[in-house]
Chains A and B, each alone.
Chain A
Amino acid sequence: MGLLAGFGLLGLGQLASADLWAQGVAAGAAPAATAASPAPLWVVMSERNAAQDEALRVLRSGAALPLQAGLWSDWAQWEQLASGSALMLLGARALAAWAQRQPPALPAMPWVAGLLSQAAWAGLPAALRGRTHVAWLDQPLPRVAELLRLALPDRSRVGVLFGPATRAWREPLQEALRARQWQMQAAQLHESDGPAELFAALSRVLDGSEVLLLLPDAQVVQPSQFQNLLIAAYRQRLPVVSFSQAHVRAGATLGLYTTPAQAALQMLDLLRLAQQPGARARQQWANQFELDINEPVARSLNLQLPSVAMLAGALLQRASAAPEGSAR
């Protein structure tokens, strides 16, 4: 099934990719960079989907340089290009595949990666991580803790499920919460855990909690069980705070997330920093964010949440700097 889907989608991808290439510098006429025509920005995409396309659009309009975009898998096309001025990698797939291929004339170009999670980043080889600037999609944990405090001022106990990808977040999140007089009730899921373990952990974690926080971990937010997760939290009349706008539409009460456009803007900022002489590879948590509230669910839970504008404003004030992160 996956194979067939892969074939079909890649077929579509090839057609779509062709138009990407057409928008960029024509493959045939690829002179070396001159003062008049600077080397283009290479944008390598993981796949053609709405999020990647939006990020590309923002990169295209925000970059001062011409842009050459394509799917990571179009090696033939990439190899025909002369050097670019910088490499922007959208998504973990693109970054990992690109690193593994290592087409020529790349070491001189700064690499800036975005549209990926810190979990995926942490799984990459250390050498790669050492030389790539990255803007993760994940929100810095102090900002998440601050959101809980601002949105739910009369609560102080949050239930959190950690998975293999977010194992390292437990300590920093605990610290960030403790600094705001919040307590965390946590459980750790392992790679091999299935739905039974997920719900056993969830029932332990929800008992005594006043809100459920969902972190970007595919083991916790298993797509096949997400519906049951939301229903379980609602059954106990607990609001859910999550990392995706889609979750809010599905029924999570509050979502704190970065849009692809914001991620792209952050990548452009990183690019500027990267182009300075002597710049070291930087890793950043998402610096811009958006908030969304599911009003019917909030009303049903008898929550009086501040408006999105007020919450966002307060969050910006309290936790504004784009914090530098360490991979582990």
Chain B
Amino acid sequence: MSVLVFLATVAGATVHAQALPGAADSAQTPLLAQGVQASQFDLMAQAEPDFFADQAPLQVLSVTRLAQPLADTPGAVTVLDRQTLRRSGARNITEALRLVPGYMVAGLNGANLVAAYHAPVDEYGVRSLILVDGRSLYSPSYFGGGFRALNAVPIEEVERIEVLRGSNSTAFGAHALFGVINVVTRHTLDTLGQAVSFTAGGGGVADVYARIGWGAPGLAQRLSVNRSADHGLRDLRDSHERVQLLWRADLKPRPATELMFQAGLSELDAGHGFASNPDDPQRDVALRKSHALLQWRHADGPEATWQATLSWDEERLSDPSQTDSIGFSFSPTPDIADLIYHEQRLALELEHTRVISPSWRWVLGGGVRDDSSFAPVLFTTTERVGVRDWRVFGHAEWAPAPRWLLNAGLFAGYRSDTGSYLAPRLMLNHELAPGHTLRAGLTRAERPPLLFERSSDVRAYINRTPVGTVHRPNPALRNEVLQAQELGYHASLAEGRVNLDVRLYQERMGDFIQFRSGVPRQYVNAPGFTLRGLEYQLIWRPSERTELRLNQSFNQMRWHQAGPIGREPPARLSTVAWFQRLDDGWDVALMLHEHNGMSWRPPASAVGSVTRVDARLARAFDWGGARAEAALVVQSLGGDIDEFVPNRLSNRRVYASLRLEF
């Protein structure tokens, strides 16, 4: 670095001046005084920052490190940054997804909040790919559970959430049919010091978060512990308590190499079931998870990067069997009757990004994922049921002419039980004028069935004698296929104060994997549906203290099978959010979400129009050297509302939080 050279020169010159006796003798001041002055010069020289670098400086933010501008993304992207997450008052990430156009957030109960994009066909979030620092969250053994895992990520540790709306299997893999929720957690260097946060209020809300971060650029670490708890919805047994321990370390052994380690342990106890449903009785379930992640990133010059990710997940769900007087149970062996599944995942992925020229960049990657599950109740075997998934993916970005950008990609996977699946994508972006970009594209995504969907084999027993099959496997289950066409428009207007993103789409789902009730129950391929719609996102910053967000999503869904199926999105789904910073550290946020009628389940369970208002008032202040923020949040200001099915009301909830950072 040029400054080091400069300092060395000065230091060397100083020493030289001292060392040459001739020079010293002819000096008019004595040598001793000169020596004293010389060290002052050193200090002064060191105080001189380098205004002019003589050598070409190292390009730190090289093309491979820079994120793609929103105008160039091959699809519609919504970014929720840390400030927005905080101001929304959300206690977990899923709640914050209400701010993303097209997302419907509701839960079968208070402990299972999910967010579905466009089609409310997913109570467990199987058709959204959820990534946290590159680690995919979903549980193949049972019902997916991606959002349950997402809700475990402490919102205080999130740097940014990038939601890629629309099919994105090409870049990310299966389960990205309806988009990708990409969570980036905060780097350890950005969370040095201690922080603690308390949240308490109505509905049994009692959250605590505490973290300590330490280190320097070569090695920095963070350790955090958090507890989240509430009583769920008022009339249900759905309270939950989660305790979690998380650790992260970031190393930089060389300027071009970065390593990240993560590990975590969590335990969730949640209520489940309904008083009125003997098939789903009220009880408590326990979910224990642990995970570890290692990510290596190496910049092979400014135009190429290598990234490798190794991740390990372990999950154990216990659900006490309801053995009644006649000895009924789902398990042949009562001693492990409580265990639903104990699954493990090991995944390795390698990715290489290369910028050939300013108009030509490609990404190539591959990986393998090994899922295995010990779940005698679910699969009627004491063997581990496993599946291995191999994948290769690549995409290329090519700017054939100025203001044109073509993005072509392919994801190809092969699963050991279901065979291959393919997800190609083609997207063209054209900048009509500075700040105005048109997008047009086609994607195809394919989702192989979950282990549970394909191979579940649940039997019923009375006094250890099998009496029937409750859930039958379907080895002939085909992959779901989603084909989407979209037109988009992105604009950045008024010096960047106005940001508009519009998406017009047709999404056609074929071979939809559907749960067919009856005895025995089974997953089958159903004809699917066609969904057409228009959605837009407008972010307007009229002043430096005000931010307004307006999202709307208009959808029309047509099932390809006869009969009233329900499971339809609202014709109109809107969010209006107003964020205002006031004097003296005050901050206010008001969020209105509304939709007209929709149904998560068959038509009899349809819910009518819903308007929900959430509000947050906060004040940032200094408290004895610590930075503090106190906030008051009201969710569902207008009172109880039917968000999921009738008579399962989401309640108004008021809670206060205090956050301190030292």
Please list the residues of chain B having a beta carbon within 8 angstroms of any beta carbon in chain A: 1-17, 23, 26-29, 34, 37, 40-41, 43-54, 56-61, 63, 65-71, 81-83, 159-160, 187, 189-193, 213-218, 220, 252, 255, 435, 492, 495-497, 499, 541, 543-545, 620, 627, 661
Contact B41 A6 (CB under 8 A): no
- The answer, yes or no, to whether A101 is at the interface (CB within 8 Å) is yes
Which chain A residues numbered 207 to 257 have a C-beta less than 8 Å away from chain B?
207-208, 216-218, 221, 223-228, 230-232, 234-237, 243-247, 249-251, 257
Asked if B4 and A223 make an inter-chain contact with CB atoms under 8 angstroms apart, the answer reads: yes
Point out the residues of chain B lying under 8 angstroms from A28, CB to CB: none
Bitwise, A291-328 to B at CB < 8 A (1) or not (0) is 00010110110111010000000000000000000000
Interface core residue of B49, B53, B54, B159 (most chain A CB under 10 Å): B49
| Residue of B whose beta carbon sits closest to that of A5 | B8
Taking the nearest CB of chain A, how far is it from the CB of B194, in angstroms?
A: 11
Find A216's partner among B34, B49, B627, B661 (CB 8 Å cutoff): B49
List the B side residues contacting A102 at CB < 8 Å. Answer: 28
Chain A, residue nearest B435 (CB): A304
Contact yes or no, B41 A96, CB < 8 A: yes
Contact B187 A204 (CB under 8 A): no
With A207-B627, A249-B56 as contacts: A199 and B192 at CB distance below 8 Å: yes
A206 to B189, CA, bound (A): 11
- Are A300 and B8 interface neighbours, CB within 8 A? no
Q: Are B50 and A244 in contact (CB under 8 A)?
A: yes
CB neighbours of B13 from chain A (8 A): 6, 9-10, 47, 73, 93
A-B contact pairs, 7 of them (CB 8 A): A8-B12, A93-B44, A100-B37, A204-B627, A217-B49, A218-B50, A302-B492
Q: Specify which chain A residues have a CB less than 8 angstroms from the CB of B496 in the assembled complex.
A: 154, 302-304
Binary interface encoding of chain A residues 106-150 relative to chain B, with 1 for a CB under 8 A from any of its CBs, else 0: 000000000011011001100000000000010000000000000
**Chain B hits for A199, CB < 8 A:** 189, 192, 216-217, 220
In addition to A154-B544, A223-B3, A234-B61, 17 A-B residue pairs with Cβ atoms within 8 Å of each other are A2-B12, A4-B12, A6-B14, A9-B8, A10-B13, A100-B29, A100-B34, A124-B44, A155-B544, A203-B189, A226-B60, A227-B58, A249-B57, A250-B60, A300-B61, A300-B68, A302-B71
- A24 at interface by CB-CB < 8 Å: no
Complex Cα–Cα for A294 and B12 (A): 35
Cα A204 to Cα B625 with chains together (Å) = 12
CA distance A246 to B51 in the complex (A): 8
**Contact between A232 and B189 (Cβ–Cβ < 8 Å)?**
yes
Chain B residues with CB under 8 A of A181: 544
Cβ contact within 8 Å between A195 and B217: yes
B16 touches A7 (CB 8 A): yes
Count, chain A residues at interface, CB 8 A: 86
A169: Cβ under 8 A from any B Cβ:
no
Q: Is the CB of B66 within 8 A of A3?
A: no
Across the interface, which residues of A come within 8 angstroms of B216, CB to CB? 194-196, 199
Binary flags per residue of A147-176, CB closer than 8 Å to B gives 1, else 0: 000000111100000001100000000000
Selected from A100, A117, A124, the residue in CB contact (under 8 A) with B48 is A117
Q: Is B47's CB under 8 angstroms from A119's CB? A: yes
A317 to B187: give the CA distance in the assembly, Å: 41
Give residues of chain A (24-47) contacting chain B, Cβ–Cβ below 8 Å.
Answer: 47
Interface of A is mostly: helix
Most B-side CB within 10 Å, residue of A49, A203, A260: A203
Given known pairs A204-B193, A230-B61, the reply for A75 and B23 (CB within 8 Å) is: yes
Which chain B residues border A101 with CB–CB below 8 Å? 27-29
Residues of B contacting A15 with CB < 8 Å? none
- Tell me if A246 and B45 are in contact (CB < 8 A): no
Bound CA–CA A10/B12 (angstroms)? 8
Q: Which residues on B sit within 8 Å (CB–CB) of A294?
A: 61
- Report the Cα distance A143→B2, complex, angstroms: 27
Residues of B within 8 A of A230 (CB): 60-61
CB proximity of B306 to chain A, nearest CB, Å:
17
Contacts of B49 in A (CB 8 A): 117, 119, 165, 216-218, 221, 243-244
- Report the separation of the CA atoms of residues A187 and B81 in the bound assembly, to the nearest whole angstrom: 23
Complex alpha-carbon distance, A96 and B12, angstroms: 16
Q: Could you tell me if B191 and A2 are in contact, using CB atoms closer than 8 angstroms?
A: no
In the assembled complex, A179 has its CB within 8 A of some CB on chain B: no
Q: In the bound complex, what is the Cα–Cα distance between A246 and B58 (angstroms)?
A: 9
Say yes or no: A306 contacts B495, CB within 8 Å. Answer: yes
User: Once bound together, how far apart are the Cα atoms of A254 and B358, in whole Å?
Assistant: 21
- Whether the pair A5, B12 counts as a contact (CB closer than 8 A) is yes
**Which residue of the partner chain A has the closest CB to B7?**
A2
- Residues in A neighbouring B67, C-beta threshold 8 A: 237, 300
Separation of A243 and B37 alpha carbons in the complex (Å): 29
Given A119-B48, A123-B43, A302:B70 Cβ within 8 A? yes
Asked whether, in the complex, the Cβ of B69 is within 8 Å of the Cβ of A302, the reply is: yes
Contact A6-B9, Cβ < 8 Å, known A123-B43, A302-B492: yes
- A1 neighbours in B (Cβ, 8 Å): 8
**In chain A, residues 178-214, which have Cβ atoms closer than 8 Å to a Cβ of chain B?**
181, 194-196, 199-200, 202-204, 206-208
Distance in angstroms between the alpha carbons of A244 and B48 in the assembled complex = 13
Whether the pair A243, B51 counts as a contact (CB closer than 8 A) is yes
CA distance A9 to B214 in the complex (A): 40
State which of A6, A156, A245 has its C-beta within 8 Å of the C-beta of B11: A6
Q: Determine the chain A residues whose CB is within 8 A of the CB of B52 once the complex forms.
A: 49-51, 244-246, 260
Q: Is A59 an interface residue (CB 8 A)?
A: no
Closest to A286 in B: B51
Q: Tell me, in angstroms, the Cα distance from A170 to B40 when the chains sit together.
A: 25
Q: Nearest chain A CB to B167's CB is how many angstroms away?
A: 23
Q: Does A97 contact B (CB under 8 A)?
A: yes
> How many Å lie between the Cα of A247 and that of B13 in the bound state?
27
Q: Are B51 and A304 in contact (CB under 8 A)?
A: no
The answer, yes or no, to whether A92 is at the interface (CB within 8 Å) is yes
Q: Are A235 and B190 in contact (CB under 8 A)?
A: yes
Give every chain B residue within 8 A of A244 (Cβ-Cβ).
49-53
- Residues of chain A with a CB closer than 8 A to B8's CB: 1-2, 5-6, 9
Interfacial chain A residues near B217, Cβ < 8 Å: 195, 199, 225, 228
Given contacts A200-B193, A227-B58, A230-B61, A257 and B51 within 8 Å (CB-CB) = yes
B191 (CB) vs chain A CBs: closest residue: A203
A311 to B16, CA, bound (A): 46
Residues in A whose Cβ lies below 8 Å from that of B54: 49-51
A210 → chain B closest CB, angstroms:
8
B85: min CB distance to chain A, Å: 13
Contact call A216/B51, Cβ cutoff below 8 A: yes
Please give the distance in Å from A191's CB to the nearest CB on chain B. Answer: 9
A2 contacts B15, C-beta separation under 8 Å: yes
User: Whole-angstrom distance between the alpha carbons of A5 and B627 in the complex?
Assistant: 46
Tell me the bound Cα distance from A8 to B12 in angstroms.
9
